[in-house]
A and B are shown apart, each in its own frame.
Chain A
Amino acid sequence: MKAAIQHALFGLLCLILSNAQAVEKITLQLDFIPDIEDGKTTFGVCARCHLPEAWGNADGTYPQLAGQHVNVLMKQLLDIRKGTRHSSLMFPFVQERTIGGYQELSNVVAYISTLPMNPAHSKGPWQQGTAEYKQGKKIYQEFCASCHGENGQGNNELVYPKLQGQHFRYMSQQLGRIKSGLREVHPAMQAVVQKLDLEQLDKAVNYASYFAVPKEDMAVSKTWRNPDF
């Protein structure tokens, strides 16, 4: 990967001045050139649960990581590290003392981005042509498409997750977690999730689960196995 992975770090600097309580926010942007070989070694630990293909599973307990934008993956790792995204089990795995610093996170994220996507991800219960599918399409286009894209392609620069190829149940469960406060997200996303009820949200992600994944992004078959592990 030639392009550097960029991510903004928001730090707080407390300036201790006489009689003053000035707190200024400092925004840094750092660039890292990922080392994919090193990322592969690190991913060996991730693969113990996420499996070497990082394809996730139909019941929604693991997401498809393959094909996801690097900045989105990075943000999730940092959110879990901070605790704004609750994942007790992943928490110790993404700490500086275990996985390393931003460079190591960049490496593993870059490695994941080299993996082809699951050609048979699981879709929602309402197929094209059903009333629910159509309702979902309308909801998606009204509330979701402006950020996540008409085809769920997301946006790496703006850190909008790609929805193409994501398992229906994973998306459904995450929306439930966002709604109940177990996962903190961008205020705009939070507002949408609060505005819609769980049924509407399910219909929207049902629609998203039927987005076509570009052929060039997919593995040759669903029996493809990652030769690195």
Chain B
Amino acid sequence: MENKDKNKLSRRRFLKAGVTAGALSCISDPLQAAAAEGASKSKAAQLPFAIRKLLNKAILPAAKGARVVVVGGGWSGLTMAKYLKIHNPAFDVVLIDKRPEFISFPASNSWLADQINLDFLTHSYIDAAKSHNYNFLNATVLGFDREAKKVFTSNGYINYDYMVLAPGIEYDYSRIGVDDPAAQVQLYNNYPGGFVNSSELITIKRKLHTFKGGTFILNVPNGEYRCTAAPYERACMAAAIFKQRGIKAKILLLDMNAEIRIKKQGFEKAFSSLYSDYINYLPSSEISQIDIEEKAVSTDFDDYQFDDAIIYPPVRASSLLEDAGIANMKTAQKTANTDPYKYHVIGDEYVYVTGDSRSQPFSKGGHTANSEAQYVAEVIAAHALGKSVRWRSPQTMCFSAVDINPLKAMSIITFYKFNKKNKEFEFDRTHMMEDWNTEGGQASLAWAEGMYRDMFYK
């Protein structure tokens, strides 16, 4: 299945490859020609260094079987890489991620409140690849050439037979009224949301443990944001930290939704019985403007001054889907048009989209991504054999820490089914355990440990 045109890189293709406009503008026509098929070494040598690197093949052991490139080493990509090898040991699987190590976002709220240490959350991509017989490439994906079936990375390009895109989410600041890119960066740097990069989490932990008192704003975005329960859980953990530190602090929890989205009774009870002096929950608070200088947030109803904040904007699918030329910019989250059951891009059965950048409305979270990837890995393995697999629902298992010392948590598990009448997915068989207790707290950690075990160890 090796590609015949692997050396071709016409200008048209290069554009399709989705290399950013900035990089393209530095390629003048002669240089462009050098990049094309048959370019001599001397001509290629005239290319700017950054471009030359793109034209090198990534250094990997030679593929023995069909190569599956998995873009994104989050919960979906890690699970995908492992189960692809289980369902078809002949696959040559390469997992690409720009991060050198893995820090888990699920369970990280318990880390904010010092219920677990950072070692618990931190795992090695090297261990994962070694345990499950695939290759890990620590590189940033820069673009694609889907016609030639190539992925360009900061460490060279890779040819693929199948590609799975699991690049996750990005913040969409425009949906809270911040359109200027420079203002978005400023907002991110001052008040990171804590759902994309692990540095955001470290900053948030420092903020919560050094806050001197006053008003601390947290918010819940609307739409299908990552980890539905997490903003409410985080409010509980932040309040628990302030309570333990004995500081006079008020958390304004601005919920862009009309009511608590998940585990409603449990969180309501926690806010009123444990944290009534700390959490002021404000539903239907759509953020319309943020003034970073003045430290003020405006909603349609009111303006709020704050001393510090964690601003979690609504989210969208990673812009890598745009780079791959598969994003449907008309959808709310700029997701790809994919088959809702088989996950491949419509019109391309060799490219799949999974995890939080999927187009299906499943809850964005670790367990969902893990159970979904186990199924999609089977789909791809079957496709390679000309077979198919019966659809099965992802599962969403979600623990929320409510109280600390000892850690107490509640949980929910839910499945999905397709409602043929309304033509949309809906929840199926939801089971909630909203009475938080220490068994739940321990279970939340056992759950996380089990998931890390699945993704990283034998």
Contact = CB atoms under 8 A, between A and B. Distances in A.
B439 A44 contact: yes
B453 A49 contact: no
A98 B447 CA distance: 11
Given A88-B450, A98-B446, 20 more contacts: A44-B439, A45-B442, A48-B440, A49-B397, A51-B413, A52-B431, A57-B415, A59-B390, A59-B392, A61-B371, A88-B454, A89-B451, A91-B450, A91-B453, A92-B446, A92-B450, A93-B443, A93-B446, A93-B447, A182-B86
A44 B433 contact: yes
A51 B431 contact: yes
12 contacts: A44-B433, A44-B439, A45-B442, A49-B413, A51-B431, A88-B451, A89-B451, A89-B454, A91-B450, A93-B450, A98-B442, A229-B433
A45 B390 CA distance: 30
Chain B CB count within 10 A is highest, among A45, A48, A59, for: A48
Interface in B172-223: none
A47 B431 contact: yes
Contact of B447 (A41, A52, A60, A89): A89
A41 B443 contact: no
Interface of A is mostly: loop
A47 B371 contact: no
A33 interface: no
Contact of A48 (B371, B390, B413, B445): B413
A66 to B, nearest CB: 15
Contacts of A59: 390, 392-393
B399 to A, nearest CB: 8
Chain A CB count within 10 A is highest, among B397, B443, B446, for: B446
Contacts, number: 60
B423 interface: no
B41 interface: no
B411 A48 contact: yes
Interface string A155-188: 0000000000000000000000000101000000
A89 B413 contact: no
A89 B431 contact: no
Interface in A46-68: 47-49, 51-52, 57, 59-61
B2 interface: no
A49 B451 CA distance: 14
A52 B413 CA distance: 11
Nearest to B87: A180
A90 interface: yes
Contacts of A93: 443, 446-447, 450
